[in-house]
Chains A and B, each alone.
Chain A
């Protein structure tokens, strides 16, 4: 496959997009699972389907439509939640379903042949275009920059929002910023794993990383590396077996998670048994 990567543009694009997606997903994924926003991210992702539909209907780049809808959904959920103290569960559910419904509606009223939506729903890393790559690189750069600029504040906000507010730091600003970053991440990931599979790629690498480190920065870094491994392995499997890349990436990541968790708990048990027998010998 390595020779193929050197030979074909589409494979080079695929590898590059895997790396870009992993950076966004390592950083934001870590934040999402620490702030317990996994379902919120799923909601934003599904709402963006409406934007893809609108993109086709207006004959503009669908990914731009997705970007607009994702940011709209993020800001909408954040604002309504703050103003009316609604359960975010209910809100997320509504945005989730309405976004999908709008997407289907727009596709239906788009004149001509209905486009194939599977690559947006389930991702197809092998069809990433140079235009997609530029969008992904720009968004990934923004995510990296914002988190680097405000890292200490974000950590304080994630750990103890109330205390940070009492200190006079504008946590509302941080919250909106975070939600926008989440929607950017989702747009970066749509081409790689698709709307439906995004939450797995966001949550699996940090869920593995947090079993091995207690440091937020290290967790982001190792999640990014794990993301790269998962994406490239998934890409290879998808290339060899000729199946959709989104599915192979997600299945490979989740299998790795199960494997790591089982092995780790086994090792811990073994260590415990060892120390126990030592104790009785002494």
Chain B
């Protein structure tokens, strides 16, 4: 399997403060990877570096073998849904259509029939076609999350990147979102950033533990030793409500 994202020696500083320290991370095609770590551990920064929103101070990032700037259309980005202004006057269809805007600015742009058909299809696939005329403030958290996933999908991405996709969702909605992602994972690489270890561990096949440095990258079976290093204290590894794996012992730092 080839690498879709390659990061080598990436460091990011905010003023004097180090957010990411020499990150080496290769993400393989069709991988379902979760990047976990404490708040302020640089997860969102790493995501933004890959998306080209932040330029790393050191190191090199390649997406599909290309430098970041030219590969943006390969990544479908799903931002944190809790950070949206839910009062904004826009309905579900118009949000999803945003994904069909191309980087070339066209005057008097209007969406084509093809755009609308693609949007319709993806909304059916994610079972949100019944909500298409709703203003986004009238959606539940799980519904809004699916709308944002739909918007990322209509861009035809090779890689789907999600920032805290299940934060502040109930257990049921969490399971639904991960089920959707698992299905999508048959066709695209999925990268999830999360601090919710419980939800992550039973759904993804690989994890990366991040707290400024990359502490662990490999199979989604963690031991307390690694977790203690990343979080700085022991953390309960038991996942609730979902059939959880037996956690193997695993020694050593980065794979």
Contacts and interface: CB of A to CB of B under 8 A. Distances in A.
Interface of A: 34, 148-153, 155-156, 158-160, 162-170, 173, 210, 213-216, 219
A149 B107 contact: yes
A168 B72 contact: yes
B109 A159 contact: no
A188 B184 CA distance: 51
A170 B89 contact: no
A169 B99 CA distance: 11
B103 A167 contact: yes
Contacts, number: 76
Interface string B123-158: 000000000000100000000000000010001000
A160 B98 CA distance: 9
B135 A149 contact: no
Interface string B80-108: 00001101111100110011011101011
Interface residues on B, range: 20 to 34
Which of B72, B87, B88, B135 neighbours the largest number of chain A CB atoms within 10 Å of its CB? B88
B103 A152 contact: no
B94 A155 contact: yes
B52 interface: yes
Interface of B: 51-53, 72-73, 75, 77, 79, 84-85, 87-91, 94-95, 98-99, 101-103, 105, 107-111, 135, 151, 155
A219 B89 contact: yes
B103 A34 contact: no
Nearest to B110: A152
Contacts of A160: 79, 84, 98
17 contacts: A34-B85, A148-B108, A152-B101, A153-B105, A155-B98, A156-B101, A163-B77, A164-B98, A166-B75, A167-B73, A167-B98, A169-B103, A169-B105, A173-B105, A214-B91, A214-B135, A215-B91
Given A149-B108, A150-B105, A166-B75, 13 more contacts: A34-B89, A148-B108, A150-B107, A152-B110, A152-B111, A156-B98, A159-B95, A160-B98, A166-B72, A167-B102, A167-B103, A169-B101, A213-B89
Interface of A, secondary structure class, is helix
B110 A159 contact: no
Which of B73, B89, B91, B109 neighbours the largest number of chain A CB atoms within 10 Å of its CB? B89
B135 A167 contact: no
Contacts of B151: 163
Contacts of B73: 167-168
Contacts of B99: 167
A167 B155 contact: yes
A259 to B, nearest CB: 21
Contacts of A167: 72-73, 98-99, 101-103, 155
A167 B98 CA distance: 9
A166 B53 contact: yes
Contacts of B108: 148-149
B90 A155 contact: yes
Contact of A163 (B98, B103, B111): B98
Contact of B52 (A166, A173, A214, A219): A166
Contacts of A152: 101, 109-111
B105 A170 contact: yes
